[in-house]
């Protein structure tokens, strides 16, 4: 026999487990030998609330506090469910939950399907052929029903008109169905409504949901939101219409909602967005639109998450981020910020900045001061760009901030390291008398990656053996050496017995932490040591 309350929600499980623990600690009610005895104790003696008759294809589970859960996932039709509740004697008229999951046969829940039994929670998941639910399935429980969930079905219509009669309903989830209309809804109790992933083409005015806190309309072909739509949604905290067909929304009306903290409008057709201001908004998603330019003057002092990715944004106006003083996460993944990030464009004022995602922007070069305001713990994502050089003027100030904290710069695994960075390390291996193959292994181990081949080290060893100890590129490459050879030799000779990693550290003050992605879902931490004097300058 399984634990009778193992299927409960984490919150309820925690409450019941805490009660059981209290009984055991106090020892006031005798000695319990196992969890089943405790569960039996917590039920009312002498009563059996599940029917004694066979109710197949449904099942009844008696849980703690005499709560019942009925599962009809194996039903072959709505009529079979009807028989369970109308042809069998039930000892109770109120049951906690009616549940169905992954059923391919039930096409409707007919009139009077639950007989005299009322449910507080009705949850139907993946009932793929279900197209009709009769209103009496809900009206029978009008005074106790708290939640209705119907997801991944063929539901074409819902009895919206009964909502005012469901006096205790707080949650309605009708996601991934086949609904084609959403009328003006009325309810004094509803707090959460989601109709994501249906075929609803339009939203009409006249809604009255004074206690609604979250509204999700995403993945519907909705092209317009009436200006007066939000007039009677004054408790709204989160509004989402991601992957709709919106070209504009009544921004002023939305942002005047006194409790609004989340706005999810990604994947629409916005080409412009006005200067936005809100004192309450904490999360804003505008990714996947057609925004190419944004205006300065935004003011959202409590905004923590800003998602602008997958927009053709080529740059941000100076001072754009000044009004985001609490920002923790910023993403412009897949924008058009490359090939050059210009100075002063990404200046973050927040002291709580955790993540800045600039991946997939075709960035080749960062001007000095292009990214400022990072903290020691900021994760800076520059992966899947075209960066092949890490100039000291651009990356030095960033590294100074990240050094010693948990912050990291994430670069693509294929970003090469400058040859000028590696050659002094090869020279150190040569001075220590290591063979070329051992030197290549030592360097790869020190840099925690396969960054140099044996053939390359062998060729450089031949150059050193010939007496050529210069470290810069030869004239045939078309660019002069910028390396102070004497300074490097002195640095290396000062610690003749140093390990490869110690020599790398000697050559430069910065330990660049990089997350290496292998594009198969695996990541590893590498610390690439970048001596300033060896890194190509902006003029290169």
311: domain range? 303-412
- pLDDT confidence of 11, banded at 50, 70, 90? very low
Position 511 scores a pLDDT of 44
Same-domain pairing of 341 and 397: yes
How many angstroms separate the CA atoms of 165 and 187, rounded? 8
Same-domain pairing of 396 and 459: no
* Position 53 pLDDT exceeds 80: yes
Which stretch of 303-317, 451-465, 496-510 has the lowest confidence by average pLDDT?
496-510
Domain termination residue (choose one: 395, 412, 429): 412
* Position 175 pLDDT exceeds 60: yes
Position 430 scores a pLDDT of 81
Domain contains 434: yes
Q: Which residue has the higher pLDDT, 5 or 339?
A: 339
CA dist 125 to 69, 187, 326, 488, 512, Å? 15, 24, 39, 68, 49
Domain contains 350: yes
* Position 65 pLDDT exceeds 90: no
Position 1 scores a pLDDT of 33
* Position 37 pLDDT exceeds 60: no
* pLDDT one-digit tens code per residue, 212-256: 999 999 999 999 999 999 999 999 999 999 999 999 999 999 999
Domain contains 397: yes
Instruction: Say if residues 335 and 362 touch (Cβ distance below 8 Å).
Output: no
* pLDDT one-digit tens code per residue, 357-371: 999 999 999 999 999
Q: Which residue has the higher pLDDT, 419 or 450?
A: 450
Domain termination residue (choose one: 412, 440, 471): 412
The helix-helix angle for 485-493 and 419-431 (nearest 10°) equals: 40
DSSP class of residue 536 equals P
Position 404 scores a pLDDT of 77
Q: Which residue has the higher pLDDT, 517 or 428?
A: 428
Same-domain pairing of 444 and 357: no
Same-domain pairing of 372 and 402: yes
Average pLDDT over residues 282-299: 96
Same-domain pairing of 355 and 322: yes
Domain count, the chain: 3
Position 17 scores a pLDDT of 47
Same-domain pairing of 522 and 427: yes
Position 73 scores a pLDDT of 97
| Spatial CB neighbours of 364, under 8 Å, sequence gap ≥ 6 | 338, 339, 340, 385, 386, 387, 388
Domain termination residue (choose one: 412, 435, 454): 412
Position 392 scores a pLDDT of 82
* Position 28 pLDDT exceeds 50: no
* pLDDT one-digit tens code per residue, 470-497: 655 444 333 334 444 555 556 556 655 6
Q: Which three-class secondary structure state does DSSP give residue 455?
A: helix
* pLDDT one-digit tens code per residue, 253-270: 999 999 999 999 999 999
86: alpha, beta or left, given left = phi > 0 and alpha = psi -120 to 50?
A: alpha
Tokens 């004192």 label which residue? Answer: 279
Same-domain pairing of 430 and 529: yes
Same-domain pairing of 477 and 387: no
Same-domain pairing of 365 and 439: no
* Position 458 pLDDT exceeds 80: yes
Domain contains 461: yes
How many angstroms separate the CA atoms of 280 and 258, rounded? 7
Which stretch of 128-137, 181-190, 328-337 has the lowest confidence by average pLDDT?
128-137
Domain contains 250: no
* pLDDT one-digit tens code per residue, 486-530: 555 565 566 556 555 455 445 443 444 444 444 455 544 444 434
Same-domain pairing of 403 and 485: no
> For 271-295, b where at least 16 C-beta lie within 10 A, e where not — what string?
eebeebebebbbbbbbbbbebeebe
* pLDDT one-digit tens code per residue, 67-114: 899 999 999 999 999 999 999 999 889 999 999 999 999 999 999 999
- In this structure, what token pair is assigned to residue 193? 């409504």
Return mean pLDDT, the chain. Answer: 82
Same-domain pairing of 388 and 347: yes
Average pLDDT over residues 300-329: 97
Q: How many residues does the chain have?
A: 540
Domain contains 481: yes
pTM above 0.85, yes or no: no
Domain contains 540: no
Same-domain pairing of 326 and 397: yes
DSSP-derived secondary structure for 303-320: --EEE--SS------TTG
Position 536 scores a pLDDT of 35
How many angstroms separate the CA atoms of 40 and 30, rounded? 13
DSSP-derived secondary structure for 163-209: GGG-TT--EEE--SS--------B-SS--EEE--SS------S--B-
Which stretch of 90-94, 395-399, 413-417 has the lowest confidence by average pLDDT?
413-417
Domain contains 430: yes
Position 13 scores a pLDDT of 40
* Position 199 pLDDT exceeds 60: yes
């Amino acid at each position: 026999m399984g634990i009778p309350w193992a299927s409960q929600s984490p919150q309820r499980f925690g409450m019941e487990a805490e009660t059981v623990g209290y009984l055991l600690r106090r020892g006031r009610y005798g000695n319990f030998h196992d969890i089943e005895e405790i569960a039996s104790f917590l039920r009312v003696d002498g009563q059996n609330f599940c029917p004694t008759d066979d109710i197949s294809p449904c099942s009844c589970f008696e849980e703690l506090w005499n709560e019942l859960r009925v599962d009809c996932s194996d039903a072959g039709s709505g009529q079979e469910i009807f028989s369970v509740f109308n042809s069998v004697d039930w000892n109770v008229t109120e049951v906690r939950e009616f549940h169905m999951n992954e059923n391919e046969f039930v096409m409707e829940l007919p009139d009077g399907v639950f007989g005299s039994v009322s449910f507080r929670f009705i949850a139907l998941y993946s009932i793929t052929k279900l197209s009709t639910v009769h209103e009496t399935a809900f009206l029978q429980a009008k005074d106790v029903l708290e939640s209705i969930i119907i997801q991944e079905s063929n539901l074409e219509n819902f009895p919206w008109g009964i909502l005012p009669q469901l006096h205790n309903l707080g949650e309605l989830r009708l996601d991934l169905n086949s609904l084609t209309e959403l009328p003006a809804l009325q309810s004094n109790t509803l707090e959460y409504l989601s109709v994501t992933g249906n075929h609803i083409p339009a939203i009409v005015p006249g809604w009255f949901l004074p206690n609604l806190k979250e509204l999700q309309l995403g993945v519907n072909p909705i092209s317009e939101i009436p200006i007066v739509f939000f007039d009677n949604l004054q408790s709204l905290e989160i509004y989402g219409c991601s992957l709709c067909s919106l070209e504009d929304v009544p921004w002023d009306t939305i942002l005047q909602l006194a409790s609004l903290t989340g706005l999810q409008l990604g994947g629409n057709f916005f080409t412009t967005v006005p200067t936005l201001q809100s004192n309450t908004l904490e999360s804003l998603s505008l990714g996947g639109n057609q925004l190419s330019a944004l205006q300065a003057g935004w003011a959202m002092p409590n905004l923590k998450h800003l998602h602008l990715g997958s927009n053709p944004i080529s740059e941000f106006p100076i001072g754009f981020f000044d009004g985001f003083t609490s920002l923790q996460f910023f993403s412009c993944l897949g924008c058009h910020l490359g090939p050059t990030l210009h100075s002063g464009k990404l200046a973050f004022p927040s002291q709580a900045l955790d993540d800045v995602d600039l991946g997939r922007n075709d960035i080749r070069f960062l001007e000095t001061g292009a990214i400022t305001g990072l903290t020691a713990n900021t994760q800076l994502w520059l992966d899947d760009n075209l960066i092949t050089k890490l100039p000291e003027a651009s990356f030095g100030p960033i590294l100074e901030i990240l050094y010693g904290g948990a912050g990291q710069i994430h670069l693509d695994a294929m970003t090469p390291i400058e040859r000028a960075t590696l050659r002094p390390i090869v020279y150190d291996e040569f001075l220590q008398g290591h063979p070329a193959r051992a030197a290549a292994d030592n360097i790869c181990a020190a840099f925690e990656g396969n960054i140099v081949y044996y053939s390359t080290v062998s060729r450089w060893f031949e150059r050193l053996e010939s007496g050529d100890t210069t470290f810069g590129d030869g004239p045939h490459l078309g660019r002069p050496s910028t390396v102070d050879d004497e300074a490097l030799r002195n640095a290396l000779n000062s610690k003749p017995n140093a390990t490869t990693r110690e020599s790398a550290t000697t050559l430069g003050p910065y330990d660049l932490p990089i997350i290496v992605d292998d594009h198969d879902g695996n990541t590893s931490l590498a610390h690439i040591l970048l001596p300033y004097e060896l890194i190509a300058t902006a003029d290169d």
